[in-house]
Structure 1
Amino acid sequence: MEQNKDEQKLSLKCASPFAQTYFHGTRADLKIGDLITIGFNSNYGHKKNAKYIFLTATLDASIWAAELAIGEGRERIYLVEPTGVIEDDPDLTDQKFPGNPTKSYRSTHPFRVVAEITIWQGHPTEQVKTMKDHLERLKAQGINSLND
């Protein structure tokens, strides 16, 4: 059955809310509708006020973000909606890896929390320790996040 022109225009204007899912891993206790914004201390590099905020289209990358986040709160993963332009995270894309295998992005525009993922499986403790040790070795060598 062929759509009429008005129905075609409507379908072009109305993107599916499930066209792309984005995740944000953290230790922050957020509520649905909260905005995640720049200016808080980064989890990486010099841990100074972050110029960017980060999201990913893969659950695994968001689990890593939650596991590596600083702070005392519990690890959390939120479904988020960007409110503005996002771009590839240069720490995890062409400068270090071909393409964007972790589907990691950054932005200066807020992300709106739309849900929390409450059931997920973290990485094995020894794997998280290995990653944290690796990040500490990089820091000791003066290799920090490009996003500081």
Structure 2
Amino acid sequence: MSQPLDEGPFFHGTKANLRDGDLLRAGFRSNYRPEVVMNHIYFTALPNGAGLAAELAAGDGAPRVYAVEPTGAFEHDPNVTDKKFPGNPTRSYRSSAPLRVLGEVADWTRQAPEALQAWKERLAALRADQRGQIIN
């Protein structure tokens, strides 16, 4: 019998205003490469990691973090685990199955403006560098 990848709880960061029970699905444009339609929905077991994703997400809404529940199988996110952080210390995952929203989480740490700007500059550099491909 194989061990689960992670027991959770799990979180997803976005600028969308969601309700309990909503399903988050793959098939939308990447926040990091808008020309790419994603085959997976991404989530993490770290609320602050989801918060960073929310702050970097496309859109004009307020960054939000939601507790989520995978509805199907999931795997380690190869965009961070295979390329940058072997062993998955970021506890980042992806699934082709939907995630069910369990509720909004208020207890996460916002990025300082300078740190957020540095992240945005890194993402812009990745967009300009074709080697920074998303494993979709």
Same fold at TM > 0.5: yes
In the TM superposition, what is the alpha-carbon distance from 1:109 to its structure 2 partner?
A: 0.2
CA distance in 1 between counterparts of 2:106 and 2:127 reads 32
Identity of paired residues, percent? 44
CA distance in 2 between counterparts of 1:99 and 1:54 reads 17
Name the SS for the 1:143 alignment partner. coil
In the TM superposition, what is the alpha-carbon distance from 1:145 to its structure 2 partner?
A: 4.1
Could you tell me which residue of structure 1 aligns to residue 3 of structure 2? none
Could you tell me which residue of structure 2 aligns to residue 63 of structure 1? 51
- The amino acid that maps onto 1:86 is F
Could you tell me which residue of structure 2 aligns to residue 25 of structure 1? 13
Could you tell me which residue of structure 1 aligns to residue 96 of structure 2? 108
Verify: 1:144 aligned to 2:128, yes or no.
Answer: no
Q: Which runs of 4+ in 1 moved over 4 A?
A: none
Could you tell me the TM-score, scaled by structure 1's length? 0.82
| RMSD after superposition | 1.4
Is residue 26–residue 39 contact of structure 2 (8 Å, CA) maintained in 1? Answer: yes
Q: Which runs of 5+ in 2 are unaligned?
A: 1-6
Could you tell me which residue of structure 1 aligns to residue 119 of structure 2? 131
Q: Which runs of 5+ in 1 are unaligned?
A: 1-18
- The amino acid that maps onto 1:107 is S
Q: How many residues align?
A: 130
CA distance in 1 between counterparts of 2:96 and 2:88 reads 19
Structure with bigger gyration radius: 1
Between stretches 82-91 and 113-122, larger displacement belongs to 113-122
Name the SS for the 1:24 alignment partner. strand
Residue pairs, 1:12-91, within 5 angstroms: 19-91=7-79
Could you tell me which residue of structure 1 aligns to residue 4 of structure 2? none
In the TM superposition, what is the alpha-carbon distance from 1:59 to its structure 2 partner?
A: 1.3
